[in-house]
Amino acid sequence: MMGFLFLEYLRSKQGILKLAQLVILLLAFACVRSTWYNSLYAYGFFEGVTLGYCITVSVFLILTVFGVPKRTSFVNWKIAEFVLDTLGFIFISTGSIVAAVKTYDTPILVAASVFGLLASYLSVVSVLLSFVAARSSKPEDPTI
């Protein structure tokens, strides 16, 4: 703990996965924004999904670093992270598959869809780690 910052999460497996997801999704978003794409709907959805999930992961990381999960016991943050990663996997994999189909052999768009698929893989790993953490956590004391 460094003052009011809780950096233990960023050093954990989950935190490293979240940071890797954030960087990879920003790379995917930058790849799509740096080119003129032909399919407005496919890449518009891909941009929306990658940017939306980047913002969601950033907010989750900021809340975790500032210790909100330790101060709010009424929210099960392991389940919240599980739901965040599950929804992220569904949307990112859908957007990446649609983007991969509509690449028209443009290398930078292929790279964007590969980054998206890599981010969806990291989401699956994070879902599995969240599931294991949620299953192994001990229930709260009901006498409080």
Identify which of 26, 33, 47, 23 has the alpha carbon closest to the alpha carbon of residue 96: 47
Within-domain flag for 4 = no
122-127 average pLDDT score:
94
Report how many domains make up the chain. 1
* pLDDT for 21: 95
pLDDT band at 41 (very low <50, low <70, confident <90, very high): confident
Within-domain flag for 111 = yes
Print the domain residue range for 123. Answer: 17-137
**114, 116, 119, 125: CA torsion to nearest 10:** -80
Within-domain flag for 105 = yes
Within-domain flag for 27 = yes
Within-domain flag for 76 = yes
80-104 average pLDDT score:
92
pTM metric for this prediction: 0.86
Within-domain flag for 12 = no
Within-domain flag for 101 = yes
* pLDDT for 38: 65
56-70 average pLDDT score:
92
Within-domain flag for 78 = yes
